[in-house]
Structure 1
Amino acid sequence: MATAEPIVYHIKPTKLIPNSPKPLLYYKGFFLRDGKVDPLLIYDTFMSNGWEPRWVTRYGTHQRSHYHGTTHEVMAILSGPGAIRWGVADLDDDPDKHTYGGANEEGGLDMEVDVGDVFVIPAGVTHKNYNPKATQFDAQPLTGGEAHYIDSPEPRKLVGQLPMTEFTMLGAYPKGFSWTWDEGGDDVGRYESVWNVPTPKLDPVVGEKGGINKYWRTEPIKAKF
């Protein structure tokens, strides 16, 4: 495995997006082995640390910027490369303009990402996952359940059988939490409720020592603006 020490990004709130005082954690190439990853190793790692895999999705050429205001999230890249934009809201409904034309708030963090990378995302941090070279327009969930659950009596087995092509990720959430799709402006005036989503006991990648237990605050967070 690559280093268990994540790259840390502090993404400040904007006029439309809460983002978080808790940093985004980036484990670069963590699950990479000889240029490939084992989806079942990722699945089992997250489950053993109390984070439940809910979807595997292949991303298209476009996606709206969004965040989850009620839960933290972890995403692991099963195949790539791809692109992610963090921290800013879309300012136009035209998908070409908000994905490629700069029709978004200033200050976003743009990344080229690849297989084996893992992101632990605090509640409130926006992300737009897309692949300029994709053969499809929209994201395609490969595990059914409208990406809220893996629609199979044997979810682990299904994940291990999926074809991993183009830009594909697996997403998981702390057990007992459910995600909502939130966009710019949805939580203006109540950012504190997003920032204070409870921190799980274990980091999804490294467990008890390090990760969120090293970098995320657990005391109540108050707005300063």
Structure 2
Amino acid sequence: MPAASVNPATFVFADDGLVPNSPLPLLIYKGAIDLDHNAPEKTIEDLLGANGWGDMWRNGIYDYLHYHATVHEALGIARGHARVRFGGDSGKEFELSAGDVAILPAGTGHQCLKSTTDFSVVGAYPPGARMQITQPTPENHAHALRTIPEVGLPDSDPLSGKDGPLVKLWGNGNGVTR
């Protein structure tokens, strides 16, 4: 279940010529989910699914730089902790731990730099296009600049639904809309 009214920290990363990133902010919710320690992945899956995010998977975060040019992504940390860089090689490093959630707008570079052996993530996506892994090359960057603006805004925040911070921050709360 979501922790009581957790507001996300927001970060915007510039296009670096290989990783497009996004004018929409990366959202990081620290300690956002009170996990059932017997089944933390299921706790996250149930919450994200109840708020309209699906096409879920369980794994870690790839140790190479990549992004998704066709869809936004939620990463719920179920177990362990990791150091993850968002925004590409010139981005920012974050420590993510069980109960944290990161929501990446399409185009946001990400890479796991170091993690505990028990590190477990649940990934999910809003309805729409399927996730595709894109590596930072000049050709992929040029293509992503065409596809990212076509990615629709989610109807709901994966943690708190239609009135959640994502909807306000990405939709009309900060003047950035698509």
Is TM more than 0.5 here?
Answer: yes
For residue 78 of structure 1, give the secondary structure of its aligned residue in structure 2: strand
Map 1:87-106; keep pairs closer than 5 Å. Answer: 87-88=87-88, 105=89
Check if 1:219 corresponds to 2:158.
no
**Paired residues of 1:85 and 1:108 also in contact (CA < 8 A):** yes
The answer on whether the counterparts of 2:69 and 2:132 sit within 8 Å (CA) in structure 1 is yes
2:151 to 182, 194, 197: 197
Look up the SS of the partner of 1:50 in the other structure: coil
* Higher mean displacement: 118-127 or 43-52: 43-52
User: Is residue 169 of structure 1 aligned with residue 107 of structure 2?
Assistant: no
TM-score under structure 2 length normalisation = 0.84
Residues 28-39 of structure 1: pairs in structure 2 closer than 5 A: 28-32=30-34, 38-39=40-41
- Give me the whole-angstrom Cα distance separating, in 1, the residues matched to 2:73 and 2:127: 11
Partner SS for 1:46: helix
Match of 1:119 among 86, 102, 113: 102
Map 1:1-225 to 2 at 5 A: 1-32=3-34, 38-58=40-60, 63-88=63-88, 105=89, 107-134=90-117, 166-185=118-137, 186-188=140-142, 190-217=144-171, 219-220=177-178
The SS at the match of 1:111 is: strand
TM-score, with length taken from structure 1: 0.68
How far is the alpha carbon of 1:53 from its aligned partner?
4.3
CA RMSD of aligned residues (A): 2.3
- Report the number of matched residues: 170
After TM superposition, what 4+ stretches of structure 1 lie above 6 angstroms from structure 2?
34-37
Q: How far apart are the structure 2 equivalents of 1:26 and 1:208? A: 18
Higher-Rg structure is 1
Change (3 A) 1:26 1:38: same
Which of the two has greater strand per residue?
2
Residue 91 of structure 1 corresponds to none
Confirm or deny: 8 A CA contact 1:5 1:211 kept in the other structure. Answer: yes
Q: Deviations over 1:91-127 (max 9, x none)?
A: xxxxxxxxxxxxxx3x221111110000111000011
Shift of 1:4: 2.5
**1-side partners of 2:21 and 2:70: how far apart?**
12
**C-alpha contact 1:17 1:125 (8 A) present in aligned 2:** yes
Between the aligned residues of both structures, percent identity stands at: 31
Q: Which runs of 5+ in 1 are unaligned?
A: 89-104, 135-165, 221-225
Residue 210 of structure 1, CA deviation: 2.7
Give the 3-state SS of the residue equivalent to 1:32 in structure 2: coil
Partner Cα separation in structure 1 for residue 35 and residue 53 of structure 2:
22
